[in-house]
Structure 1
Amino acid sequence: MPDIKNGSGVTMPHKVAIIPYLDELTDEGQAVGACNTIVKRDGKLIGTNTDTIGVRESFLQNVAEPEQVYRGRPGLVIGGGGAARSAVYALVKLGCQTVYLVNRDPAEVTAVIAWCTTQGYGAGLRHVRTAAEAEAVEDPGAIVSCVPNFPPVTPAEVEARKVIEVLLTKPHKGAILEMCYHPTVHTEIGDLAQRAGWQVILGTEAMLYQGFEQVKFWTGREVKEMPIVAAKDAVAAALRDDVA
Structure 2
Amino acid sequence: MINSNTNLICLIGHPVKHSFSPNIHNHLFKKYNLNYAYICFDVESNKLKSAIDGIRSLGIKGANVTIPHKTEVIKYLDEISPSAKLIGAVNTIKNENGKLIGYNTDGIGFAKSILDEGYNIKGKNIMILGSGGGSKGIAVQMALSGCSFIHIKNRTLDNAKNLCQILKQNFDIKVKYSNMKITEEELNDIDIIINTTPIGMTPNIDQCPIDTNISPKRDVLVCDIVYNPRETQFIQWAKKRGLKSIGGIYMLINQALESFNIWTGVKCDEYDTKEILQKVGV
TM-score class normalised by the smaller sequence? 0.7 to 0.9
- 2:112 maps to a residue whose letter is E
Question: RMSD in angstroms over aligned alpha carbons?
Answer: 3.0
Q: 1:8 to 1:16 in 2, by over 3 A?
A: same
**Are 2:88 and 1:88 equivalent residues in the alignment?**
no
**Are 2:177 and 1:127 equivalent residues in the alignment?**
yes
**Are 2:257 and 1:206 equivalent residues in the alignment?**
no
Unaligned runs of 5+ in 1: 240-244
CA contact (8 A) 1:212 1:226 kept: no
Residue 189 of structure 2 corresponds to 139
Q: Say which structure is richer in helix.
A: 1
- 1:51 maps to a residue whose letter is D
Residue 277 of structure 2 corresponds to 232
Compare relative contact order (CA 8 Å, sep 6+) and give the higher one, 1 or 2: 1
Return the alpha-carbon distance in structure 1 between the equivalents of residues 246 and 262 of structure 2.
25
Identity %: 24
Deviations 1:98-120 (A, max 9, x none): 011223443332232234445x1
Return the alpha-carbon distance in structure 2 between the equivalents of residues 165 and 192 of structure 1.
9
Matches within 5 A, 1:1-244: 1=32, 6-41=61-96, 44-61=99-116, 63-64=117-118, 66-67=119-120, 70-117=121-168, 120-121=170-171, 123-128=173-178, 135=185, 139-147=189-197, 148-149=199-200, 161=210, 169-171=216-218, 173-182=219-228, 184-224=229-269, 227-235=272-280, 238=281
Return the alpha-carbon distance in structure 2 between the equivalents of residues 93 and 75 of structure 1.
13
CA contact (8 A) 2:160 2:178 kept: no
Q: Which runs of 4+ in 1 moved over 6 A?
A: none
Q: Offset at 1:25? A: 1.1
Q: With structure 1 as the length reference, what TM-score do the two structures score?
A: 0.76
Aligned length, in residue pairs:
221
Q: With structure 2 as the length reference, what TM-score do the two structures score?
A: 0.67
Return the alpha-carbon distance in structure 1 between the equivalents of residues 248 and 270 of structure 2.
23
Residue 242 of structure 1 corresponds to none
